[in-house]
Structure 1
Amino acid sequence: MFRTEGIEMAERLRCELVSQETVYDLVYKLAEEIRASDYHPDLVVAISRGGFTPARVLCDVLGLFNLTSIRVVHYSKAAVHEQQAFVKYPLCMDVAGQRILLVDDVNDTGDTLKIARSHLESLGPTEVRIAVLHEKSCSPVRAEYVAESLDKWHWLIYPWAVVEDVGGFLLEMTPPSADSDQAADWLLNTYGLRLPEDQLSHLLSLIRKRVE
């Protein structure tokens, strides 16, 4: 099982699948917030990897073309927290005097955004503002643009992380199961997670190929 501070994650972790449709709805909300604030970014910086899709769609909605990314290492696999976040792949370009919009999928502990903002501000931009799809109330760091605020903590699984996150959960089954019904029951009972039948079948097939 996943462990945090000696507590088995399966004993208290609950998950929510975020649909592709929901992602687009949240990005549109972010775009409206940004327009209403009269902020005009010169550069959009996605936090790799969760910020890639939101940042790209946000650029499309806002008509922005300057998009790049940085990589902040924080979570090694679903719900497993490493001791310290750090910038693994920094921004290697001149952004002095520019207005930057930093984009990620979720503001959870705030560590990622804190490290990322500090890194970008050290490069001398005019301003750095943050946009996220979800922000959890437990985070000590606040983004300027938030599509949805969450008061109750739970693990969010976005469309771009289903294989990584749910696949990681399934590999923790004891013993591992290739049976769709058994896996579905285990995910529901352990994580409160219900996957479409065809998606779960594809996922189990991928896992079998990886462990063979």
Structure 2
Amino acid sequence: MSERLPHEKGFHISWDQIHRDSRALAWRLDGHGPDDGAWKAIVAITRGGMAPAMIVARELDVRTVDTISVKSYHHQSQGEAVVLKSPDKEMMGDGTGILVVDDLVDSGKTLELVRQLYPKAHFATVYAKPKGRAMVDTFITEVSQDTWIFFPWDMALQYVEPYRGTD
């Protein structure tokens, strides 16, 4: 068997799949907000959390949506998480009633940083890896730590070599 790079154990997500999984996340969160089951606002962690947050906001009829911009990846290598843009301070408070949405929790560094800022927020991701699972309150699908998730916004249609061999 040939040596494969970590990103070559890929889990490819289509637009249809991210839509279905984001709707499933919304259904799981429905009725669990602190205001008679409702959420005060949704905060998307950009950029990956924007599509799932939009779908969750639509499904749960949440009209107040903001973003927090956190950079932790440089292409496919992860570095220190840094906040580039914060959501509205007055709306956020300590995070009570706020639903923070991201596409994936990997190592948990990004969510750890945001959780320090808003400790009472509810953190939800569509996908989760074992190292970061403790940082997320709600998720839909868990994948192994060595799986690289290819999201539809990062993809183009092209030929792909078979996983094992070329015969």
Fold equivalence (TM over 0.5)? yes
TM range (shorter): 0.7 to 0.9
1:93 and 2:86 are equivalent in the alignment: no
Residue 41 to residue 151, structure 1, CA distance change in 2 (3 Å): same
1:81 and 2:78 are equivalent in the alignment: yes
Preserved contact between residue 101 and residue 130 of structure 1 (Cα < 8 Å): yes
Q: 1:40 aligned to 25, 38, 43, which one?
A: 38
Question: What is aligned with 1:157?
Answer: 150
After TM superposition, list the pairs within 5 Å mapping 1:1-212 onto structure 2: 11-13=5-7, 14-38=9-33, 39-77=37-75, 79-82=76-79, 84-95=80-91, 96=93, 98-121=96-119, 127-139=120-132, 141-151=134-144, 153-162=146-155, 184-185=160-161, 188=162
| Matches of 1:85 and 1:152, distance apart in 2 | 19
**Structure 2 residue runs without a partner (length 5+):** none
**Structure 1 residue runs without a partner (length 5+):** 1-8, 122-126, 167-179, 193-212
The number of residue pairs the alignment matches comes to 157
More helix by share: 1
Which of the pair has more CA radius of gyration? 1
Q: CA RMSD in A?
A: 2.6
| Matches of 1:111 and 1:59, distance apart in 2 | 24
Matching residue's letter, 1:134: Y
The structure whose RCO (Cα within 8 Å, separation 6+) is larger is 2
| CA-CA distance at 1:120 after TM superposition | 2.8
| CA-CA distance at 1:151 after TM superposition | 3.8
Instruction: Specify the SS of the correspondent of 1:101.
Output: strand
After TM superposition, the structure 1 stretch with the greater mean CA deviation from structure 2, 93-102 or 52-61, is 93-102
TM-score w.r.t. length of structure 1? 0.66
